[in-house]
A and B are shown apart, each in its own frame.
Chain A
Amino acid sequence: MTRYIIRRLLTAIPTLVAISMVIFTILALAPGDPLSEFAVNPSVPPEVRQRIRQSMGLDDPIPVRYTKWFTSILRGDFGYSFRSRSPVSDLMLQRLPTTLYVIGTAYLISVLLAIPIGVISAIRQYSIFDNIATTLAFIGFSLPTFFTGLLFILIFSVKLGWFPMIYRATIDEPGLRGLWLKVEQAIMPITVLALFQTAALTRYTRASMLETIHQDYVRTARAKGLSELTVISRHALRNALIPVVTIIALSIPGIFTGAVITEQIFRVPGMGSLLISAINDNDTPVIMAITIIFSALVVLFNLIADVLYGVLDPRIKYE
């Protein structure tokens, strides 16, 4: 097992290097300029803008720029943002707690809801519960977050005035009121995200569960006289969870990198909004840092998912 993990980690290195090269090249080839806002501004003459471009190293050949970036990454240095001229790692650390709180909670809620709903839907297939759950899942699945987000703002902020539409990460009021403010402003973004993710996960759980409950070993378990609860939880669910675990594990990197659209709509200062504003501003160091961390997390959680298979299904062995 240990040898397997080490081998997987070693093969991840060239993968990550290749990913970083591809992304860097695409970004370098993409047109755009961090100073474009001042393009026709008479107070920022072209020679000043060209000098700033040079100081950012934007006029160097792509291999030179990549080598510079790569060597500093090896030292753990993500470089400086073109925009705020501060270290990229500081910017990301500022955003991480908010992202983990909002996206993480949404994710947790959706896992906690989706698995029971999916399981009940499967064992009571075509019941009223199943029909309602399926309908809701399709609705949640088909409505994009930008739509539900705007709808929520119109209903709950503008018409009813229940929740604020602007998220503030700097609330420092003491006591329960501060806590409530923090919860209150996160309700809409969390609901929007949870609705979408729960819908998807419910469908996976249901499908996977439906497959296993008709398996021979489940019938055998029932024939042994085990209680229905034990049959479902120990024999059916455990096997049904393998594909679900893959999906959950592979989505976890997304918790760290944020939900771009939802964060933008509710002005949640998370990683997603950092990424999208960096892309708009052509802030290459920030884009590179977030994407490379995302890639590393995807590779890592792939490995974790594989290891978890072994735990869920003892027949799976890695040698």
Chain B
Amino acid sequence: MDRFEELQQAVLSGSLSRRDVLKRAAALGLSAPAIAALLAACAREEATPTQAPAAATPAPGASPAATPTGAAEATPTEAAAGQRGQGGLLRLLWWQAPTILNGHLAQGTKDFDASRPVLEPLADIDKDGNLVPILAEEIPSLENGGLAEDGSSVTWKLKQGVVWSDGTPFTAKDVVFTWQYVVDEGTTATTAGNYLNIQSVEAVDDYTVKVTFKEPTAAWMGAFVGPYGYIVPEHVLKDYVGEQARNAPFNLNPIGTGPFKVREFRPGDVVIYEMNENYREPDKPFFSEVELKGGGDATSAARAAIQTGEVDFAWNLQVEAQVLKQLEETGVGQLGITPGVNVERILVNMTDPRTEVDGERSKLGVPHPWQSDLKVRQAYALLCRRDQIADQLYGPAGKATSNILVAPERFVSPNTKWEFNPDRAAQLLDEAGWTLGPDGVRQKDGVQMSIVYSTTINPVRQKTQEIVKAEFEKVGIKVELKSVEASVFFSSDAGNPDTAAHFYVDIEMFTNGPTLTYPIDYMISWWGDESNIAQKANNWGGSNYERWQNEEYDQLFEQARTELDPDKQVELFVRMNDLVIENVVVIPLVHRNDVQGYAKNLEGLELSGWTSNLWNIANWRRTG
């Protein structure tokens, strides 16, 4: 192929015209694809005569030809700062495809993520759970007077001189409008939950916003922060509040304050972003263009990012541990592990799923024949081999845990521990009166200890089920495994008995974790108030699936809602966690990490388990 390379050189240096190339290539007997590649080289040269040499980053897969606008427009004015748009094209891969780019109407994490390069919240959250100001000038605190002493309001100072990508100034009115937009019932915003506790949002002046809560609120960071807090422009959306929300062109082509704007969006397929020339930091973003491709599956996404380098970043690689390891050994990319906030857990039903009372099973007040006995629940916990599950099935993506609240760090309880001890479990079951029957199954008063264990269809979960089942059956607890399609399991359909909220089985398993850095929204899962118990009366709309009620927990929870003293807060959350663990309402199994795959030369990602992967995209860079 020496002649071929010579020819290619000649083409690239411009000493040969296209026609000459064709003649000579044919003379060389080159195949059609080779000729095409040569011609492509001609075309590339002809198409980008203005290409600055510095902008031609040798990134794998990123074609320099893709950056003519960015480099050309940025270089004259930003020569001094010298960074904006130099990075060319950044390729992202989400194996779930975004379908809407208005975070408030998001139907999944993918939509929050795809909105984030364009839309920004007042503050975002780093991996340790600290707030980072984005559109806000500073984070409100008691010291700077942003937080009211009594917790009844919070005042945000906004950055000045920020403009929307269409040039209109961003002011406090947009924040007020965002609140009005989200809480309007007709808008049916997915994010409305974080705004329900707000009494009013007022613009004190153009750059100051005061949020007043209906009652003193410790979790003041629910609104306008992170993925649920994107600020939307009043001047674009004011006619699309309520029923009209779905007709807004904004949903597919948002106007934002972020480092990028949307050039093209094909729902369910791809988003192409280009640089926002009006972005407030003149030397950012580094990349002139971002392509977020969606669809496919996690394993091939991992392959594309780590093994072939076809993309620069791949999101959420929920792939089996061995596969990931193997890919990383052979590949050009690397795995990024971010500490997660979620725990894979087994929920233990306190009520009887077999007896139907007034048209519902698992009814509050009808205790489970054996799981209402603490000794039996303790035995369950002793039978879960958490280390085996974490090491073999999750690998870098998880570690065994004994807590249900694993983030932020300051709220994590140091008091719990877990162990795998089948002998002790058997002993506890004997003490509880559940003795081995002639058929090897434990029984008491003619009732067999036979349970149904449900979860979603997912290879890792099915393997977890097998590990748990094996140990349960060794001590004489019969286990029937059940797996339900995730969209059914997590459905809010009151008519479907297979949902997690109905909990018409003995134990069930899924993952959950807090979304607020003051995790009161998550701890509501064990609040025993009638309105919060998932049951027929509220169409199974409560958060407490186990139907566990505990006076001490309820008191702590209600106190934590309004507690502002940081030390007291820690005390309350640790005690709540410990109560749930001591009573074995939940058996936490694995503290899950987020796994991403990305190019080795990508920097500044600052990935955080609390918010979108793309929250810091303005500062992403490519080195080398």
Q: Which A residues have a C-beta under 8 Å from some C-beta of B?
A: 31-53, 55, 58, 80-86, 91, 94-95, 153, 157-158, 161, 164-166, 168-170, 173-178, 180, 264-265, 267, 269, 273-274, 277, 280-282
Q: What distance in Å separates the Cβ of A291 from its nearest Cβ neighbour in chain B? A: 17
Is B283 an interface position by the 8 A CB rule?
Answer: no
Known pairs A44-B190, A52-B188; A91 contacts B293 (CB<8 A): no
| Complex Cα spacing A177 to B99, Å | 30
| Complex Cα spacing A165 to B190, Å | 34
Known: A33-B488, A38-B190, A269-B270. 6 other contacts (CB 8 A): A31-B498, A38-B490, A42-B519, A91-B268, A94-B266, A178-B43
Determine which of B44, B268, B291, B540 lies in contact with A170 in the assembled complex, contact meaning CB atoms within 8 Å: B291
Q: Is the CB of B304 within 8 A of A40?
A: no
Q: Is the CB of B268 within 8 A of A36?
A: no
Determine which of A41, A45, A170, A180 lies in contact with B37 in the assembled complex, contact meaning CB atoms within 8 Å: A180
Is B525 an interface position by the 8 A CB rule?
Answer: yes
Q: Is the CB of A37 within 8 A of B252?
A: no
Q: Is the CB of A180 within 8 A of B36?
A: yes
Q: Is the CB of B311 within 8 A of A37?
A: no
Q: Is the CB of B487 within 8 A of A169?
A: no
| Complex Cα spacing A276 to B84, Å | 39
Determine which of B196, B246, B496, B519 lies in contact with A31 in the assembled complex, contact meaning CB atoms within 8 Å: B496
A-B contact count (CB 8 A): 216
Q: Is the CB of A42 within 8 A of B307?
A: no
Q: What distance in Å separates the Cβ of A49 from its nearest Cβ neighbour in chain B? A: 5
Q: What distance in Å separates the Cβ of B307 from its nearest Cβ neighbour in chain A? A: 6
Q: What distance in Å separates the Cβ of B259 from its nearest Cβ neighbour in chain A? A: 20
Determine which of A51, A168, A274, A280 lies in contact with B188 in the assembled complex, contact meaning CB atoms within 8 Å: A51
Q: What distance in Å separates the Cβ of B17 from its nearest Cβ neighbour in chain A? A: 14
CB<8 Å pairs between A and B, sample of 12: A33-B488, A44-B193, A49-B492, A52-B188, A86-B251, A86-B267, A94-B267, A166-B304, A168-B293, A173-B65, A176-B39, A264-B295
Give the B interface residue count (CB, 8 A): 88
Q: What distance in Å separates the Cβ of B446 from its nearest Cβ neighbour in chain A? A: 35
Determine which of A33, A42, A50 lies in contact with B514 in the assembled complex, contact meaning CB atoms within 8 Å: A42
Closest 4 pairs between A and B when the two form their complex, measured CB to CB = A39-B490, A46-B541, A175-B43, A33-B491
Chain B residue nearest to A80 in the complex (CB): B246
Q: What distance in Å separates the Cβ of B335 from its nearest Cβ neighbour in chain A? A: 17
Q: Is the CB of A85 within 8 A of B490?
A: no
Is B512 an interface position by the 8 A CB rule?
Answer: yes
Stretch touching chain A among B100-108, B230-238, B597-605: B100-108
Q: Which residues of B lie under 8 Å from residue A165 when comparing CB positions?
A: 300, 303-304, 308, 310
Q: Is the CB of B524 within 8 A of A42?
A: yes
Is B579 an interface position by the 8 A CB rule?
Answer: no
Q: What distance in Å separates the Cβ of B476 from its nearest Cβ neighbour in chain A? A: 32
Q: Which residues of A lie under 8 Å from residue B63 when comparing CB positions?
A: 173
Q: What distance in Å separates the Cβ of A27 from its nearest Cβ neighbour in chain B? A: 13
| Complex Cα spacing A318 to B487, Å | 50
Q: Is the CB of A269 within 8 A of B47?
A: no
Q: Is the CB of B190 within 8 A of A42?
A: no
Q: Is the CB of A32 within 8 A of B268?
A: no
| Complex Cα spacing A273 to B525, Å | 36
| Complex Cα spacing A176 to B42, Å | 9
Determine which of A84, A158, A176 lies in contact with B308 in the assembled complex, contact meaning CB atoms within 8 Å: A158
| Complex Cα spacing A173 to B62, Å | 13
Known pairs A83-B107, A176-B36, A177-B44; A36 contacts B486 (CB<8 A): yes
Q: Which residues of A lie under 8 Å from residue B43 when comparing CB positions?
A: 174-178
Q: Is the CB of B252 within 8 A of A39?
A: no
Is B191 an interface position by the 8 A CB rule?
Answer: yes
Q: Is the CB of B541 within 8 A of A277?
A: no
B355-413 contacts to A, CB under 8 A, are: none
Determine which of B40, B99, B189 lies in contact with A81 in the assembled complex, contact meaning CB atoms within 8 Å: B99
Could you give, for residues 570-607 of chain B, a 1 whenever the CB lies within 8 Å of some chain A CB and a 0 otherwise?
A: 00000000000000000000000000000000000000
Q: Is the CB of A41 within 8 A of B515?
A: yes
Q: Which residues of A lie under 8 Å from residue B160 when comparing CB positions?
A: none
Q: Which residues of B lie under 8 Å from residue A269 when comparing CB positions?
A: 266, 268-270, 295
Known pairs A83-B267, A180-B37; A36 contacts B491 (CB<8 A): yes
Q: Is the CB of B66 within 8 A of A50?
A: no
Known pairs A35-B190, A84-B99, A157-B308; A177 contacts B40 (CB<8 A): yes
Chain B residue nearest to A161 in the complex (CB): B308
Q: Which residues of A lie under 8 Å from residue B56 when comparing CB positions?
A: none
Q: Is the CB of B47 within 8 A of A175?
A: yes
Q: Which residues of B lie under 8 Å from residue A45 when comparing CB positions?
A: 193, 196, 543
Q: Which residues of A lie under 8 Å from residue B107 when comparing CB positions?
A: 34-35, 37-38, 82-83, 281
| Complex Cα spacing A51 to B188, Å | 7
| Complex Cα spacing A177 to B267, Å | 27
Q: Is the CB of B311 within 8 A of A166?
A: yes
Q: What distance in Å separates the Cβ of B547 from its nearest Cβ neighbour in chain A? A: 15
Q: Is the CB of B491 within 8 A of A31?
A: yes
Q: Is the CB of A84 within 8 A of B267?
A: yes
Chain B residue nearest to A150 in the complex (CB): B300
Q: Is the CB of A85 within 8 A of B246?
A: yes
| Complex Cα spacing A83 to B191, Å | 15
Q: Is the CB of B492 within 8 A of A170?
A: no
Q: Is the CB of B100 within 8 A of A32?
A: no
Most buried by A among B63, B491, B516: B491
Q: Is the CB of A84 within 8 A of B493?
A: no
| Complex Cα spacing A58 to B40, Å | 52
Could you give, for residues 237-276 of chain B, a 1 whenever the CB lies within 8 Å of some chain A CB and a 0 otherwise?
A: 0000000011000011000000000001011111010000
Chain A residue nearest to B521 in the complex (CB): A42
Q: Which residues of A lie under 8 Å from residue B270 when comparing CB positions?
A: 168-170, 269
| Complex Cα spacing A237 to B247, Å | 55
Q: Which residues of A lie under 8 Å from residue B300 when comparing CB positions?
A: 153, 165, 265
Q: Is the CB of B264 within 8 A of A166?
A: no
Q: Which residues of A lie under 8 Å from residue B525 when comparing CB positions?
A: 42
Chain A residue nearest to B37 in the complex (CB): A180
| Complex Cα spacing A170 to B272, Å | 8
Chain A residue nearest to B523 in the complex (CB): A42
Q: Is the CB of B267 within 8 A of A48?
A: no
B19-70 contacts to A, CB under 8 A, are: 36-37, 39-44, 46-47, 63, 65-66
Q: Which residues of B lie under 8 Å from residue A166 when comparing CB positions?
A: 93, 293, 296, 304, 310-311
B486-518 contacts to A, CB under 8 A, are: 486-493, 496, 498-501, 510-512, 514-516
Q: Which residues of A lie under 8 Å from residue B251 when comparing CB positions?
A: 84-86
Q: Is the CB of B268 within 8 A of A277?
A: yes
B279-293 contacts to A, CB under 8 A, are: 291, 293
| Complex Cα spacing A172 to B485, Å | 39
Chain B residue nearest to A38 in the complex (CB): B190
Is B542 an interface position by the 8 A CB rule?
Answer: yes
Q: What distance in Å separates the Cβ of A50 from its nearest Cβ neighbour in chain B? A: 6
Is B71 an interface position by the 8 A CB rule?
Answer: no
Q: Which residues of A lie under 8 Å from residue B228 when comparing CB positions?
A: 43
Q: Which residues of A lie under 8 Å from residue B307 when comparing CB positions?
A: 158
Q: What distance in Å separates the Cβ of B280 from its nearest Cβ neighbour in chain A? A: 28
Chain A residue nearest to B227 in the complex (CB): A43
Is B192 an interface position by the 8 A CB rule?
Answer: yes
Q: What distance in Å separates the Cβ of B519 from its nearest Cβ neighbour in chain A? A: 8
Q: Which residues of B lie under 8 Å from residue A38 when comparing CB positions?
A: 107-108, 190, 490
Q: Is the CB of B100 within 8 A of A43?
A: no
Is B194 an interface position by the 8 A CB rule?
Answer: yes
Known pairs A31-B496, A37-B108; A43 contacts B191 (CB<8 A): yes
Q: What distance in Å separates the Cβ of A98 from its nearest Cβ neighbour in chain B? A: 9
Is B421 an interface position by the 8 A CB rule?
Answer: no
Determine which of A43, A84, A180 lies in contact with B40 in the assembled complex, contact meaning CB atoms within 8 Å: A180
Most buried by B among A48, A80, A84: A84
Q: What distance in Å separates the Cβ of B301 from its nearest Cβ neighbour in chain A? A: 9
